[in-house]
A and B are shown apart, each in its own frame.
Chain A
Amino acid sequence: GAGVSQTPSNKVTEKGKYVELRCDPISGHTALYWYRQSLGQGPEFLIYFQGTGAADDSGLPNDRFFAVRPEGSVSTLKIQRTERGDSAVYLCASSLTGGQGRSEAFFGQGTRLTVV
């Protein structure tokens, strides 16, 4: 596609529920990143995919968070047993090759998750 697309743009869920956030990267981009941005903060790294595999998941805060990219294109971030502290904007980015130092990462507009 023309840019990184994230759906839904907004998601409101009840505490304890399960949510899935979707990211469609730019076509042909092998690298995909997830970040989380809380109010008044900068984005915080969660996970990085190179192709289908998670090359770096060191930013996932706990085992309630999981992400997949089964065909090396679309990625889904999954959050189990959501907590109010999970409320944030979840950003997805993709780049042509891996390693953000070598290839510009393009960001989507994010999914605003609100846990009530």
Chain B
Amino acid sequence: GEDVEQSLFLSVREGDSSVINCTYTDSSSTYLYWYKQEPGAGLQLLTYIFSNMDMKQDQRLTVLLNKKDKHLSLRIADTQTGDSAIYFCAEIPEANQAGTALIFGKGTTLSVSS
């Protein structure tokens, strides 16, 4: 079945780089996403990558996609305390032809210490 897996916790020091990893099962997924959830706030779309891309960079964020291994990663450069949050990896599997149902991982809690 469809499944998205992430490590549950990551702890880094301010100024270091953070790398959050995700594996997914549907090799036909067309879009893969990273969402951020802060306490008391809604999910915020950080970035997404189309399946025909290997990498996407957006300011401090770099997304790497390895389709062969079905592995997605999010790198945050110069991590700040404000980056502390839960990060969710999500996919839209090909089986969902309308592209409506995002399948989310359980989320990675990023803790940034100063």
Contact = CB atoms under 8 A, between A and B. Distances in A.
Interface of A: 3-4, 31, 33, 35, 40-45, 48, 55-56, 58-59, 91, 93, 98-102, 104-110
B interface, over-half SS:
loop
Interface residues of B, number: 23
B40 interface: yes
Interface of B: 4, 30-31, 40-45, 88, 90, 92, 96, 98-107
B42 A42 contact: no
Contacts of A31: 100
B101 A107 contact: no
B40 A42 contact: no
A101 B88 contact: no
Given A101-B92, A107-B43, A42 B105 contact: yes
